[in-house]
Chains A and B, each alone.
Chain A
């Protein structure tokens, strides 16, 4: 019985320690610099803030060329409009009609926009552009302040529009569906 306990403890210890021991621990600075992901509950959102009013000019300078003055699309994906079209033959998937979480806008603008020079916007500018895109979709007001506390609380219209993958969903002739 004691040998069994020893065996289990040994196994537990083995599971807890690295087998090969390569690599090194990151510093706190390295972790802070590398981890730019924002979760739906706002985990990872940094200090800073912005409003649609301040975002308007940044959008005009950095985003409008591809996304259009009102986020209608132009040379890239549309950002605004489309609410109520998802069941129609021509659904318009925009931030306002489709995206389930407002935090995702901050994450994506921060990491990937503007297309030609991602990462150029300051934290405040990312908050401001995020607010402007939400404002274009009439989800927030022009002077609503977006920051790490308020942004995760924004309720997106299509918040409950996503379902789990039910596939395989096609019954085949030979009834060999798994």
Chain B
């Protein structure tokens, strides 16, 4: 896979070199020699495809059960803050169901005054909003706890993506059904083969949870929950239940399999933290990152992504000397709460070995920790919610690897 990314990076470099040459030609005012008549291009098309030269893909796992697996966003090839829907990471527990939106319904019941079934058509008629939010699996970076860290940005951090989501606030649907005061939790359930369910606190549901049908300007992709999904901003991806079919208001959480057996964080004393919803601040240098190569010393714009479930990113610092000194990176606008924030850092590479790292601080004042401090606080068996500082090593020959 990394070879594929390498070759795509190489192609990109060749392409930019060709573009640069072309622009230099324009500046000199000498039109490119045209030795043959132009060829007529392709006609308009009903649904767009990317350029034939572009080959970036999601990273796929080696597994005997690809229906209960994850694919990874190629963050090392990303630009801006939006992940194309086609490259949004996936995590399914029983495959992607094929659901006819004309047949799909959402049931809101339990501790409500008016149990209600909504059709897709009815939900789309309600006042909708669009918001840009990252979504991240709480298992993202799981491999970073160990000695063998991710070799590429995709392998270490690719279970995070960022989209514009469109839908109805869950609070609106709960108000329609008349959710009762004694209801403190919601059991939210999908229509996939395993009927994925989680318990969600009513407070968060009323704050900013979305019942979304749109992603990046079109309908959700099937693998993102078509036709309807929950989107719980800033919280671990598993609670944003896809193919949403049911919301049941109850007093206490149901302690379901995916909030007890899984998605709990085991501590050194043998206890496990549960309902660890928050995705804490994290950042990652995407260029130069593992598997890429700098072709020569000189100027190199370091760039990357930072995000936090607690809100806006206020600061990203970059170190190019293995953590000895840190300087502020430039944060690209828009800098939205609970969304990817793109950062840039100008750097002159002197052609010697270097270790590049980034760390971010969010609006709550939380600073991204080192791996050492995470391990000190949680030991080595908590699996989920790794958000330590990631380092990339630049070799003297320009190749970049995991440090």
Query: A interface vs B, CB < 8 Å?
Result: 16, 18-26, 30-31, 34-40, 75-77, 86-87, 89, 91, 93, 95, 98-101, 103-104, 107-108, 111-112, 115, 118, 161-174, 176-178
> With A25-B114, A91-B381, A170-B377 given, is the CB distance from A39 to B250 under 8 Å?
yes
| CB pair A100 B270 closer than 8 Å | no
Closest Cβ neighbor of B378 among chain A residues = A169
Closest Cβ neighbor of B197 among chain A residues = A37
Question: Does B273 reach chain A (CB closer than 8 Å)?
Answer: yes
The 5 A-B residue pairs with the shortest CB-CB distance, nearest first, are A112-B194, A86-B270, A172-B367, A87-B270, A23-B116
| CB pair A111 B122 closer than 8 Å | no
User: Main secondary structure on chain B at its contact with chain A?
Assistant: loop
Query: B interface vs A, CB < 8 Å?
Result: 64-65, 68, 93-94, 107-109, 113-119, 122-123, 125-126, 172, 175-178, 187, 189, 193-195, 197, 245-246, 248, 250, 252, 254-257, 260-261, 264, 266-278, 280, 310, 361, 364-369, 373-374, 377-378, 380-381, 385
When chains A and B are docked, how far (Å) is the Cα of A99 from the Cα of B194? 19
13 contacts between A and B (CB under 8 A): A19-B176, A21-B176, A23-B119, A26-B115, A34-B246, A35-B248, A87-B270, A100-B260, A108-B257, A118-B194, A163-B267, A163-B272, A169-B377
List, in ascending order, chain A residues with CB within 8 A of B377's CB. Answer: 169-170
When chains A and B are docked, how far (Å) is the Cα of A66 from the Cα of B93? 15
When chains A and B are docked, how far (Å) is the Cα of A162 from the Cα of B273? 6
Contact among A25, A26, A167 for B276, CB-based, below 8 A: A167
List, in ascending order, chain A residues with CB within 8 A of B175's CB. Answer: 18-19
When chains A and B are docked, how far (Å) is the Cα of A21 from the Cα of B173? 10
Closest chain-B Cβ to A120's Cβ sits at a distance in Å of 11
> With A118-B193, A171-B373 given, is the CB distance from A107 to B272 under 8 Å?
no
| CB pair B275 A98 closer than 8 Å | no
List, in ascending order, chain A residues with CB within 8 A of B93's CB. Answer: 112
List, in ascending order, chain B residues with CB within 8 A of A178's CB. Answer: 310, 364-366
> With A22-B118, A39-B254 given, is the CB distance from A162 to B274 under 8 Å?
yes
Contact among B65, B94, B118, B310 for A112, CB-based, below 8 A: B94
